[in-house]
């Protein structure tokens, strides 16, 4: 038995938990030279650091330690680059809505709002400005978003920001306490900071007064009066005390209490109802602003709260993030515009794409899967050290490459294809396969080729996007184009083995291109040129294409100038028409189409045509599925297929008589001769207990000595 040697720890279990601390080992053994508190502990100077964190030497253990370390460093570098670019693009996506929220909070009590006019008329009720923040269904992502909003509000505003979460607010009392605690605590932090900055003794006094109030026990922490009094106190101080200038730069904005309710649907409606009512009653004393995070629709709000409460809210809708647009951003950042990082191959991309759109709409889980893919790529692929590096790095990497690395390169499918393509030149082939130095000298070109493919691909992809958007904006009934999001466009690019150019969608776009009028064409060319001018790579390497488009543009202007007097715009020649101006335009249009067709054909090739794409693309879809979409039940049921008790279990109805089960079990066991009664019973009991732990049966009191069956589907 494997575990025999460890029998002691297996059988002696008496405590709920067991602690093991790092054992200080004698320094004599070089393998375990680390001690707790040793300065080299956990540091990268430790010779065994990389093996200790779980890295393995690849290439059958022949990988050099340097190459192994490099994989780890590269993983950390590449992933942090990718993550930061994803985060940046998501932030851009949300920044507009964030600005909306901030300006809403700022203007919520400004004079031109309706609120004041109500008060001016002396109407008996007051409304709390409320922003309904529609967040989309994925609550884990929302948590992050709300933290960001809170941070943003705290950073720049003078307001007190309170985050209420349903889990802390089971009752009205807890909700109020939560509110008070957060407001008062946040101010403590403020004051402590001020104290440190200014060494001003006055605030300490004020603070003590505050504490005394609780100490005397006049008011409970969950009493709104506490907040109100404290708030008024602060405002008074704010008006005459100087030190507030430090924390509140803008005195015209008097501080508001911003209440963020992140998961509205999860709240107990009655708690919320009372809470809002109390707040509205105190509104003349404390300036409340509510932000309600709603994951579903506004109906949820209308159903949860009575109209009397809804009336006391002045609502404004703010759409926070659109999951699909976020996915667009991520795909653009990771797959299209990322020229140096790791990319998802065909099947992994499909898996991530589908789990996002069909299962959870979760940005965070998409990112986590992506991280796993990148991590595993560096963990398992010895060639990953060649991914996305610049010229200088490449030179240093070449020195690290061992013979085994080169052998691994020769084993790559795409490299074999490359060799086959050289076949007429047999000398070249021999050198490629046998001469290590030659292969090494070739590597920079091949590695550079991957990067160039990506750069060109991203430009062509953007062109295709511009083409699609222009055709859609053109809004002509003759033009029949589907609107595809970027992520689904990329999905086409990666799924179709012929590349995006052969895709039906692209061909359709090109066909429709022939139907546009001259103003639309000039629009399209202009957009393409603008994009090219801003693109760094295109400026240096795509000069020919650029001049070609410029040329088209000039020619179009010429034709327009010559003939525009008669019409507003030129239309392509349709069948049977004969007109000289339009002929020229039609020829130009055809040339533009041919240009795009050729450009797409050359640059939107499928990645698998690129030599050594294996270095950059992660292909292990099965592993991703195992890691993130596991089927514990199916696995267990499969393993149980040899179990006698389980086989019998499948035959039973919803109730199982234990005695009969045992008898049936016994009859099968005793087919080959009698067995000790006790043994049968013991085996039966342990088996049934196991099935019970696994969740197949549970005991029931409905009938004596019966179990209830819990699963049916196989």
Partner 1 sequence: MFTKNKIISQSNKEIQVPLHEVNVIIEPFEYELKQAYKPTVTRKMHNPIRKTSSRIASLRAYNPFVVNKENDSDDEGTLNLRGGKKRRVGTFERQLRKVLKEDNEEEEEEKVEQVQVIKSKRTRQVIAVHERDEKGWERYFADHSASSARTSFHTLSKLPAFEQKDLIETINSLPLKHQDQLDLISKKYETLFSQWYYQLRCGFNIICYGYGSKRGILEKFARARDDIHVLTINGFMPKTTLKTILRDIIQGYLNEQPRGSMEQQTKNIVTYFSAPNCEIDKLYLVFHNIDAPQLRAEQTYHCLSIIASCPNICLIASTDHINIGLLFDQMTTSRFNWLWFELATFQPHKIEHSFQNSSLMSSESELSPQAVYHVLSSLSQRARGVFKTLIEHQIAEAEKSSKHLKPKDTGIEYNILYDKCRREFHVNSDNTFRGHLTEFRDHRIIQSYRSAYGTDILYVPLDSDRLKGIAEKLEELGED
Provide the mask over 23-52, with x wherever binding to partner 1 is found by CB under 8 A and - wherever it is not. x-x------x-x------xx--------xx
Nearer to partner 1, 15 or 475 (CB): 15
- Residue 681 in contact with partner 1, rule: CB under 8 A: yes
SS3 344: strand
Minimum separation from the CB atom of position 17 to partner 1 (A):
4
Q: State the Cα–Cα distance between residues 302 and 280, nearest whole angstrom.
A: 18
Residue selected from 475, 536, 671, 678 as contacting partner 1 according to rule CB under 8 A: 678
Nearer to partner 1, 143 or 274 (CB): 143
Residue selected from 635, 647, 668, 670 as contacting partner 1 according to rule CB under 8 A: 635
Nearer to partner 1, 31 or 483 (CB): 31
Residue selected from 15, 445, 483, 671 as contacting partner 1 according to rule CB under 8 A: 15
Minimum separation from the CB atom of position 197 to partner 1 (A):
23
Edge-to-edge strands, sheet with 128-134? 160-164, 257-261, 288-294, 128-134, 313-319
Q: State the Cα–Cα distance between residues 195 and 172, nearest whole angstrom.
A: 34
160-164 vs 313-319, strand pairing mode: unpaired
Nearer to partner 1, 320 or 610 (CB): 320
Residue selected from 253, 375, 394, 479 as contacting partner 1 according to rule CB under 8 A: 375
- Residue 706 in contact with partner 1, rule: CB under 8 A: yes
Minimum separation from the CB atom of position 68 to partner 1 (A):
11
Minimum separation from the CB atom of position 217 to partner 1 (A):
21
User: Hey, which residues between 350 and 369 contact partner 1 (CB under 8 A)?
Assistant: 360, 362, 364-365, 368
- N-terminal to C-terminal alpha carbon distance within the chain: 33
Sign of torsion over alpha carbons 242, 245, 251, 254: negative
Residue selected from 156, 543, 609, 699 as contacting partner 1 according to rule CB under 8 A: 699
User: Hey, which residues between 151 and 180 contact partner 1 (CB under 8 A)?
Assistant: 167-168
- How far is residue 84 from each of residues 200, 330, 451, measured CA to CA in Å? 40, 11, 20
Q: Is-contact 605 501, C-beta < 8 A? A: yes
- Residue 391 in contact with partner 1, rule: CB under 8 A: no
Residue selected from 416, 654, 668, 670 as contacting partner 1 according to rule CB under 8 A: 654
Provide the mask over 595-634, with x wherever binding to partner 1 is found by CB under 8 A and - wherever it is not. -------------------------------xxx-x-xx-
Minimum separation from the CB atom of position 498 to partner 1 (A):
34
Q: State the Cα–Cα distance between residues 101 and 107, nearest whole angstrom.
A: 10
* Stretch near partner 1 under the rule CB under 8 A, chosen from 382-390, 459-467, 514-522, 671-679: 671-679
* Stretch near partner 1 under the rule CB under 8 A, chosen from 223-231, 307-315, 521-529, 703-711: 703-711
Nearer to partner 1, 169 or 509 (CB): 169
- Residue 705 in contact with partner 1, rule: CB under 8 A: yes
- Residue 709 in contact with partner 1, rule: CB under 8 A: yes
- Residue 640 in contact with partner 1, rule: CB under 8 A: yes
Q: State the Cα–Cα distance between residues 261 and 146, nearest whole angstrom.
A: 9
Question: Residues near 295 by Cβ (< 8 Å), separated by ≥ 6?
Answer: 134, 135, 136, 137, 138, 139, 142, 263, 264, 265
Minimum separation from the CB atom of position 267 to partner 1 (A):
15
- Residue 637 in contact with partner 1, rule: CB under 8 A: yes
Residue selected from 96, 598, 655, 668 as contacting partner 1 according to rule CB under 8 A: 655
Residue selected from 44, 56, 284, 476 as contacting partner 1 according to rule CB under 8 A: 56
Minimum separation from the CB atom of position 587 to partner 1 (A):
54
* Closest alpha carbon to 419 in 435, 397, 398, 402: 435
Q: State the Cα–Cα distance between residues 343 and 616, nearest whole angstrom.
A: 6
Nearer to partner 1, 254 or 708 (CB): 708
- Residue 377 in contact with partner 1, rule: CB under 8 A: no
Minimum separation from the CB atom of position 163 to partner 1 (A):
14
- Residue 99 in contact with partner 1, rule: CB under 8 A: no
Measured at the CA of 584, the angle between CA 579 and CA 585, to 5 degrees, comes to: 95
Q: State the Cα–Cα distance between residues 585 and 560, nearest whole angstrom.
A: 9
Nearer to partner 1, 263 or 496 (CB): 263
Nearer to partner 1, 91 or 137 (CB): 137
Residue whose pair of structure tokens reads 């199916």 in the numeric block: 634
- Residue 121 in contact with partner 1, rule: CB under 8 A: no
Nearer to partner 1, 2 or 112 (CB): 2
Tokens matching residue 368:
């986590």
Backbone angles phi, psi at 699, to 5 degrees: -75, 150
Count of residues binding partner 1 (CB under 8 A)?
90
SS3 424: coil
Count the Cβ atoms, other than its own, within 10 Å of residue 327.
21
Residue selected from 94, 138, 553, 603 as contacting partner 1 according to rule CB under 8 A: 138
Residue selected from 475, 536, 575, 714 as contacting partner 1 according to rule CB under 8 A: 714
Nearer to partner 1, 202 or 371 (CB): 371
Q: Is-contact 509 468, C-beta < 8 A? A: yes
Q: State the Cα–Cα distance between residues 258 and 289, nearest whole angstrom.
A: 5
- Hey, what's the torsion of the CAs at 112, 114, 116, 122, to 10 degrees? 150
Q: Is-contact 126 284, C-beta < 8 A? A: yes
Could you tell me if residue 705 is left (phi over 0), alpha (psi between -120 and 50 degrees) or otherwise beta? left
Q: How far is CA 178 from the centre of its chain?
A: 30
Angle between helices 486-495 and 436-474 (to 10 degrees): 140
Nearer to partner 1, 273 or 619 (CB): 619
Helix (H), strand (E) at residue 102:
helix 65-107
């Amino acid at each position: 038995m494997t575990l025999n040697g460890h029998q002691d720890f297996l059988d002696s279990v008496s405590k709920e938990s067991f602690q093991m601390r790092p054992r200080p080992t004698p320094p004599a053994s070089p393998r375990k030279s680390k001690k707790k508190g040793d300065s080299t502990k956990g540091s990268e100077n430790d010779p065994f650091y990389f093996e200790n964190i779980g890295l393995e030497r690849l290439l059958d253990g022949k990988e050099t330690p340097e190459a192994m370390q490099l994989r780890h460093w590269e993983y950390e570098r590449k992933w942090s680059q990718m993550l930061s670019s994803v985060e940046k693009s998501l932030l851009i996506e949300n920044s507009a809505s964030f600005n909306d929220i901030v300006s809403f909070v700022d203007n919520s009590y400004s004079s031109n709002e309706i609120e004041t006019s109500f008060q001016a008329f002396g109407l008996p009720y007051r409304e709390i400005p409320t922003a309904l923040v529609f967040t989309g269904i994925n609550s884990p992502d929302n948590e992050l978003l709300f933290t960001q909003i809170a941070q943003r509000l705290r950073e720049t505003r003078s307001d007190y920001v309170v985050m209420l979460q349903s889990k802390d607010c089971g009752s009205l009392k807890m909700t109020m306490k939560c509110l008070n605690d957060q407001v008062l605590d946040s101010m403590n932090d403020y004051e402590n900071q001020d104290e440190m900055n200014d060494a001003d003794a006055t605030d300490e006094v004020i603070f003590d007064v505050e504490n005394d109030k609780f100490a005397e026990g006049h008011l409970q922490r969950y009493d709104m009066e506490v907040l109100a009094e404290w708030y008024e106190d602060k405002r008074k101080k704010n008006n005459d005390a100087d030190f507030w200038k430090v924390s509140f730069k803008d005195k015209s904005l008097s501080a508001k209490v911003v209440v963020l309710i992140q998961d509205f649907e999860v709240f107990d409606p009655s708690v919320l109802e009372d809470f809002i009512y109390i707040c509205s009653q105190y509104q003349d004393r404390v300036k409340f602003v509510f932000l309600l995070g709603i994951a579903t629709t506004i109906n949820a709000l209308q159903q949860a709260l009575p109209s009397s409460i809804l009336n006391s809210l002045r609502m404004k809708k703010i759409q926070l993030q659109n999951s699909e647009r976020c996915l667009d951003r991520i795909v653009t950042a990771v797959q299209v515009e990322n020229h140096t990082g790791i990319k998802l191959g065909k099947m992994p991309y499909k898996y991530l794409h589908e789990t996002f759109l069909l299962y959870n709409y979760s940005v965070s889980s998409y990112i986590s899967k992506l991280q796993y893919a990148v991590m595993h790529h560096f963990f398992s692929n010895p060639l990953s050290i060649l991914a996305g590096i610049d010229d200088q790095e490449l030179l240093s990497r070449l020195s690290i490459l061992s013979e085994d690395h080169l052998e691994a390169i020769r084993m790559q499918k795409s490299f074999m294809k490359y060799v086959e393509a050289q076949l007429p030149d047999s000398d070249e082939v021999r050198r490629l396969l046998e001469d290590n130095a030659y292969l090494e000298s070739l590597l920079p070109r091949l590695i550079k080729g991957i990067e160039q493919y990506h750069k060109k691909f991203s430009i062509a992809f953007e062109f295709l996007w511009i083409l699609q958007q222009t055709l859609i904006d053109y809004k002509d009934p003759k033009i029949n184009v589907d609107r595809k999001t970027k992520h689904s466009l990329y999905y086409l690019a990666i799924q179709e083995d012929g590349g995006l150019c052969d895709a039906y969608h692209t061909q359709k776009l090109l066909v429709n291109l022939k139907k546009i009028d001259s103003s639309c064409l000039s629009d399209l060319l202009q957009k393409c040129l603008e994009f090219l001018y801003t693109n760094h790579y295109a400026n240096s390497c795509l000069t020919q294409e650029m001049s070609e488009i410029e040329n088209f543009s000039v020619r179009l202007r010429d034709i327009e100038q010559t003939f525009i007097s008669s019409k507003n715009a030129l239309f392509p020649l349709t069948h049977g028409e004969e007109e000289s101006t339009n002929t020229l335009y039609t020829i130009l249009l055809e040339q533009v189409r041919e240009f795009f067709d050729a450009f797409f054909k050359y640059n939107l090739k499928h990645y698998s045509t690129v030599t050594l794409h294996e270095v950059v693309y992660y292909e292990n879809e099965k592993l991703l599925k195992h890691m993130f979409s596991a089927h514990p039940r199916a696995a267990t049921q499969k393993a149980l297929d040899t179990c006698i008790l389980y086989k019998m279990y499948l035959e039973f109805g919803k109730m199982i008589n234990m005695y009969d089960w045992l008898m049936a079990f016994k009859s099968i066991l005793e087919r080959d001769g009698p067995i000790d009664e006790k043994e049968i019973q013991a085996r039966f009991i342990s088996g049934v207990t196991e099935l019970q732990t696994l969740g197949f049966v549970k005991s029931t009191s409905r009938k004596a000595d019966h179990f209830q069956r819990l699963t049916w589907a196989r």
